[in-house]
Amino acid sequence: MHLTKSEQQIMEIFWQADHAMAQTEVVKTCVDRKWKERSIFSMLNSLMEKGVLREVGFVRSGKTYARTFEPAMSHAEYLASVIAEQLPAKQLPELIAALMQKVETTPAIQKEMRAALRENAQ
C-alpha cells in the first residue's frame, strides 16, 4: 500500500488525534497547508479505499451533518504493511537488528518485543 505525501500528512493528523474527526477539523488542524475542501474530501475517500481510515459516525456541522473518521490501523501497523510488501520474510531478523541499532530502546520496550515475538511464534 502506498500513501501519497498529502495522504501521509492527513494520516499523521489522525494518528496524533485522540478522537474521531470531521473533514472541517482536519482542515483547521492543518494550518500550514492550504488544501481545498474538495481535495480533502477526495483524500479522505482514497484513504478509506486503501483501508487506513474508516468512517465512524456523524457530527452536526452547521445546518447539515458531517462524517467523522478515525484510523483503521495504527501508524506502526501501516509501516509494517509497507515493509512487509517490500521485504522478504528471511530478512526480518536483519531488519529488527537494524532497528535496534537505530532506535534507543529501554528494558521495558525490549521485554514487550520479546513478548510479541513469543506470542507470534505460537
The model's pLDDT over 36-58, given as tens digits with 9 standing for 90+, comes to 777 888 999 999 999 999 999 88
The Cβ-side half-sphere exposure at 21, using a 13 Å CA radius, reads 22
At residue 27, the pLDDT reads 80
How large is the average pLDDT for residues 95-108? 86
Query: How many CB atoms within 10 Å of residue 106?
Result: 8
All structural domains of the chain, each given as residue ranges with its CATH number in brackets, are 5-71 (1.10.10.10), 88-121 (no CATH)
Q: Which amino acid, residue 66?
A: A
How large is the average pLDDT for residues 103-110? 86
At residue 23, the pLDDT reads 84
d(CA 97, CA 74): 22
